[in-house]
Amino acid sequence: MAFFGWDKSVPQPTKIDREAFVVLIDRPSGLVHEIVVSLTQNKTTSWKKVQGVQPTLHVGEMLEAEHVLLNDELVIAECRKLGITDMKQVFIDPWGVGYHESIKGKRLMQALVYMRTSADDNQYAHPLDFNPLYDVNEKKVVDIIVAKRRNSKFERPTIPRANHHFLPEHIGTENLRKDLKPIQITQPEGVSFTIRGQQLDWQKWNMHLSFNYREGLVINNVSYKDMDGTLRPLFYRVSLAEMVVPYANPYKPYNHKMAFDVGEYGLGNLTNSLELGCDCVGSIYYMDAVLSDMKGEPWVIPKAICIHEEDTGLLFKHTDYRTGKAHSARSRRLVISHIVTAANYDYGLYYYFYQDGTFQYEVKATGELNTQVLAVDEDAAPYGTIVAPQIDAQHHQHLFSMRIDPMIDGRNNSVAETDVLPSVHPVGHPDNIVGNAFGPVSKIFSNTDEAQTDASPQTHRSWKVINESKIHPYAKQPVGFKVIAPNSPPLLAKPGSIAYERARFAAKTLWVTQYHPDQLFPGGFYCYQSEPSDNLGLPQFTRETKNVRNEDIVLWLTFGLTHIPRVEDFPIMPVEMCGFQLKPANFFLGNPGIDLPSSDKKSTKSAYAPADAKSCCGNNSL
Ligand code: ABN
Ligand code: CU
């Protein structure tokens, strides 16, 4: 964390040389160049060639791949063998190849092939059984891998033609529910946030927003104004720094399905323009994102970022049972989000800020399961679920790595790990007479070896980012923010596997490292076709033991979903959520939302009152 703003002893920069880091790939040679350009001086400051690495894919390369593949003789011939003669019915999702010895020096994609029965039919209902291997730089097919049937009397499956639609125009208006009355969210006096350039103020929160091709939305310099007006620094930079979706099927070609949607494709690159449809309701402020196209020209995604407020129910309430007097305050959150489409899957990525000083990050996974075809007599178990006849949705995980660069009341922070354990004393001991005693047991990580730790649901394990130089006057403990994570299981692929060795970050729930400006990506900067090794990202950053106590530190938090698909996830998956919260813990002098006015009772009315009835105070006794 480069620290400024709050520490008056640090000289403030008066002039900043703004620089851009450019990664360039030349085609067809595949040579990769790293260039630093000074934007203020309008010149190149460094330029070097790098060997043996592959930059993040560009959406342009994926679209180009689909076009070339659909016109390739081998692909056309393979489709014919399956009875498909009209190539306009065929659609191809090009994926990263993962890693294999034989691909060294090449830039390849594996293509997942589907058909559609009409222009916007759901292609994941009609998977084909072969994967072409495609050379991105040479723009040609290098191999075709036909999946072998297992426990089937057929050599090739028939391609299921039954449609599994989800678009309302396919389902038919007559089949849509008709009993939904409108819900309207209105903010008659406007929104409660203000935006100046990239700066955002909402309630007592202040932050800076940025966006890049790789992490998408990044939140910087988050601070909170305390009751006495002090601006208290909290987080220097928070971003979704990597994710991996490893699939469980052990057979060729599916055993190389492991998508790193941040490092291989780029969340920024995959971001939707919300012009095309937005899931946020109410008064919305949109921001455009500017990325670069395949030639390095600006590529604008209009309305990429959505900023709005949401009512989230109760923040607190108490009723005096003697007098019947009640006071309740409703909770509102600021939502800053974008939505990415990673071929079949869609992810809503939400940063939430609450009025009680809580920060939350949530991923909403939706879209389409990645499907493969089965022969009519084949089973998907134990590596997949049959979600419709002949359609195998293979088991997988979605593991996310959040990079949290804290500055809780200052630059130097520590991390304490707490397990809640039964008393060490046996039942009957004077300090545990009836055996009910339990309590938190904490340790503060001193170095990077200790600070690689696992979830432990049995002990309700949690972590707190603390500032040991600021002791809370009441709690007599360092001020802090608690990490509330759902204790999800880490990577299930075995040590030694390609998935595990490329995604070692996901094998631990929490890592803490010393801040280093070049350490942004837990799976390594060059993630595409990265060679399984301990020289990538977090294993590399932690090779040398470093102090993480009272230091400028960074937390890397893994959370996610272990997805055993359900039939109900098909043909389109209802949102599945995961994420974490950072909650003030002995940081403020009391509930920071205490100054919220009582909930507005005027805007409620009895559920069965006539639609045009005026609002009332809601005597809802039945
Ligand atoms: N889920 C893998 C992926 C992401 C983006 C584009 C193609 C494939
Ligand atoms: Cu999933």
Domain CATH for 367: 2.70.98.20
301 Cβ contact list (under 8 Å, min separation 6): 271, 272, 273, 288, 289, 290, 291
Q: Could you identify the atom of ligand 1 that is nearest to the CA of residue 265? A: 5
H or E element at residue 462: strand 462-471
Continuous segment of H or E residues that includes residue 489: none
Instruction: Write down the pLDDT at residue 603.
Output: 64
Residue 536 clears pLDDT 50, i.e. is over it = yes
| pLDDT surpassing 60 at residue 487 | yes
Residues in contact with 33: Cβ distance below 8 Å, sequence separation at least 6, in sequence order: 22, 23, 24, 25, 26, 47, 48, 49, 50
The least confident of 17-31, 189-203, 275-289, 414-428 is: 275-289
**Is the torsion defined by CA of 545, 548, 554, 560 positive or negative?**
positive
Say yes or no: 234 and 87 in one domain: no
Q: Could you say which ligand is closest to the alpha carbon of residue 259?
A: 1
In this structure, what are the phi and psi dihedrals at residue 601, rounded to the nearest 5 degrees? -80, -15
Residue 332 in domain: yes
> If pLDDT is split at 50, 70 and 90, which confidence band does 4 have?
very low
Which among 114, 134, 254, 345 is annotated as catalytic?
Answer: 345
Residue 47 CA to residue 35 CA, distance in Å, equals: 4
Instruction: Report the pLDDT value the prediction gives residue 180, as an integer from 0 to 100.
Output: 95
CA distance 267 to 261: 7
Kindly list the strands in the beta sheet with 391-394, ordered across the sheet, starting from the edge strand earlier in the chain: 371-373, 391-394, 384-388
> Mean pLDDT, to the nearest integer, of 450-462?
95
78 with 141, same domain: the answer is yes
Which atom of ligand 1 approaches the CA of 59 most closely?
6
| More confident site: 280 or 432 | 432
pLDDT of the residue at 104 = 87
Ligand 1 binding pocket mutation candidate from 112, 265, 344 (most atoms within 8 A of CB): 265
Best probe residue, ligand 1, of 66, 92, 93 (max atoms within 8 Å of C-beta): 93
**Pairing mode, strands 478-484 and 438-444:** unpaired
Q: How many domains does the chain have?
A: 3
Residue 616 lies in a domain: no
Q: Residue 502: pLDDT above 80?
A: yes
> Does residue 552 have an active-site annotation?
no
Report angle CA 524, 527, 530 to the nearest 5 degrees.
100
In the predicted structure, residue 295 carries a pLDDT above the cut 80: yes
At 308, the amino acid letter reads H
Distance from the alpha carbon of residue 377 to the mean position of ligand 2, in angstroms: 25
Domain assignment present for residue 591? The answer is: no
Looking at the predicted structure, is the pLDDT value of residue 329 above 90?
yes
Mean pLDDT of 203-224: 98
CA of 79 to the centre of ligand 1 (A): 22
Q: How many angstroms does the Cα of residue 84 sit away from the middle of ligand 2?
A: 29
**Cβ–Cβ < 8 Å for 463, 483:** yes
| 40 in the same domain as 87 | no
**Which of 59, 136, 264 to probe ligand 1 with, by most ligand atoms within 8 A of CB?**
264
Average pLDDT, the chain: 94
Query: Does 248 share its domain with 145?
Result: no
- Taking residues 556-573, what's their average pLDDT? 98
Above 80 in pLDDT, residue 1? no
CA of 95 to the centre of ligand 1 (A): 5
- Ligand with smallest separation from the Cα of 342: 1
For residue 96, give the CATH number of its domain.
Answer: 3.10.450.40
Over residues 395-412, the mean pLDDT reads 98
Buried b / exposed e along 379-404 (16+ C-beta atoms within 10 A): ebeebbbbbbebbbbbbbbbbbbbbb
| Predicted local distance difference test score (pLDDT) of residue 602 | 65
User: Which of 121, 135, 261, 346 is an active site residue?
Assistant: 261
Task: Assess whether 264 and 380 both reside in one domain.
Answer: yes
What SS3 class is residue 583? strand
Do both 36 and 101 map to the same domain?
no
Q: Which domain holds residue 275?
A: 199-424+435-585
Report whether pLDDT(616) > 50: no
**What pLDDT does residue 2 have?**
41
* Ligand 1 atom index nearest CA of 93: 7
Mean pLDDT of the 4-17 span: 70
Q: Is 321 a catalytic residue?
A: no
In the structure, which protein residues have their CB atom closer than 6 angstroms to any atom of ligand 1?
A: 62, 93, 95, 259, 261, 265, 270, 342-343, 345
Nearest ligand to the C-alpha atom of residue 97:
1
Mean per-residue pLDDT for 82-91? 97
| Confidence at residue 607, expressed as pLDDT on a 0 to 100 scale | 77
- Provide the percentage of residues in the chain whose pLDDT is more than 90: 89
Question: Is residue 460 predicted with pLDDT exceeding 80?
Answer: yes
* pTM strictly above 0.85: yes
Strand runs (DSSP E) across 508-571, as ranges? 510-514, 553-563
State yes or no: pLDDT of 350 exceeds 90.
yes
Residue 565 lies in a domain: yes
Cβ within 8 Å of residue 486, ≥6 positions away? 559, 578, 579, 580
**297 Cα to the center of ligand 1, angstroms:** 23
What pLDDT does 619 receive?
34
Q: Please, which pLDDT band fits residue 596 given cuts at 50, 70 and 90?
A: very high
In this predicted structure, the answer to whether residue 3 has a pLDDT above a threshold of 60 is: no
> Is position 331 within any domain?
yes
The sign of the CA dihedral 464, 363, 457, 258 is: negative
Query: What pLDDT is recorded for position 618?
Result: 35
Is 80 exceeded by the pLDDT of residue 613?
no
pLDDT at res. 622: 34
pLDDT at 12: 76
Atom 5 of ligand 1 has which residue's CA nearest to it? 342
Q: Are 400 and 560 in contact (CB under 8 A)?
A: yes
Give yes or no: residues 558 and 413 share one domain.
yes
Task: Give residue 612's pLDDT.
Answer: 59
Q: Is 611 part of any domain?
A: no
- If asked whether residues 252 and 137 sit together in one domain, one would say no
In a domain, 602, yes or no: no
Statement to judge: residues 229 and 252 lie in one domain: yes
Q: How many CA atoms lie within 13 A of 285 on its CB side?
A: 17
- Nearest alpha carbon to residue 507 among 452, 546, 554: 452
- Ligand 1 centroid distance, CA of 538 (Å): 23
- Atom 4 of ligand 1, nearest CA residue: 342
Q: What is the pLDDT of residue 514?
A: 98
Asked if residue 73 and residue 209 are part of one domain, the reply reads no
**Cα–Cα distance for residue pair 41/135, rounded to 1 Å:** 38
Are 63 and 46 contained in the same domain? no
Query: 23: buried, middle or exposed (CB in 10 Å: 19+, 13-18, 0-12)?
Result: middle
Tens of pLDDT, residues 40-81: 999 999 999 999 999 999 999 999 999 999 999 999 999 999
pLDDT at residue 538 is higher than 60? yes
d(CA 142, CA 131) in angstroms, rounded, equals 11
The DSSP 8-state label assigned to residue 445 in this structure reads: -
Pocket test for ligand 1, best of 56, 58, 95, 247 (most atoms within 8 A of CB): 95
How far is ligand 2, taken at its centre, from the CA of residue 398, in Å?
Answer: 6
CB neighbour class for 143 (10 Å; exposed up to 12, middle 13-18, buried from 19): middle
> Residue 35, Cα to own-chain centre: how many angstroms?
29
Among the atoms of ligand 1, which is closest to the Cα of residue 261? 4
Phi-psi region of 105 (alpha: psi -120 to 50; beta: other; left: phi over 0): left
Choose the residue to mutate in 108, 260, 261 for probing ligand 1, maximizing ligand atoms within 8 Å of C-beta: 261
Cα 464 to ligand 2 centre (Å): 30
* pLDDT higher than threshold 80 for residue 278: no
Q: How far is CA 395 from CA 98, 432, 609, in A?
A: 17, 46, 48
Ligand 2: centre distance to CA 199 (Å): 34
Both structure tokens of 271: 């971001």
Any domain includes 166: no
Note whether 442 and 461 are within 8 A (CB): no
Which protein residue has the closest C-alpha to ligand 1 atom 8? 95
What residues contact residue 574 under an 8 Å CB cut-off, 6+ apart? 366, 568
- The answer on 68 and 25 residing in a single domain is no
Distance 569 CA to ligand 2 centre (A): 9
> Quick one: average pLDDT of 106-125?
97
